[in-house]
Amino acid sequence: MKLKVLFVALLLSFCNSSFACGLIESLFTSENVSLEFVGKIEIKTPMKNERNIQVPISIEGGKWLENSAIGLGKINAKIEGGKVYITVFTCVGGTKNLFKGFTIKNAKSGEYEVFYKNPDNSIVSIGTIRI
């Protein structure tokens, strides 16, 4: 049993030396959270690369700051018509690349309204972007 625990500990440290939102940690500790937990999200000007749109953001406040062991890990974004729905997921150990923003794949030119989708499926408008 001790060998198994040691193996898992070594695997976790190998997969992510910073102990912040690595693949193994996110499989077992990640969950989507409410906008209240995340804080105020400000959307910056989108940038286009070869296939995708990168949407930078800034985050202020939020209840996640009250617990040093749980950080914001990643943002999922989904396009439905002229709307983009985003959700933030937590992870143990802190943030990693979250504040770079989120990626929209295969987006067509135009204006999109961006919504935050809470775990209870309620949505909150957080802004618009033009691609």
Nearest to 113 by CA among 101, 104, 125: 125
Map out the domains of the chain as residue ranges.
Answer: 20-130
Give me the helices (H) in the chain, please.
Answer: 2-15, 23-29, 35-38
The whole-number pLDDT of residue 131 equals 87
Q: Based on the number of CB atoms within 10 Å of its own CB, is 68 exposed (0-12), middle (13-18) or buried (19 or more)?
A: exposed
- Start-to-end CA distance of the chain, whole Å, equals 54
The whole-number pLDDT of residue 1 equals 60
Which residue type does 62 have?
A: G
Whole-angstrom Cα distance, residue 74 to residue 87? 8
| Tokens, residue 83 | 């709307």
Burial 116-127 (b: 16+ CB within 10 A, else e): bbbeeeeeeebb
Q: What is the pLDDT along the chain (131 residues), one digit of tens a residue?
A: 665 655 555 555 444 444 445 554 445 557 888 899 888 999 999 998 888 899 999 888 877 667 666 777 788 999 999 999 999 888 776 555 556 789 998 888 899 999 999 999 999 999 999 98
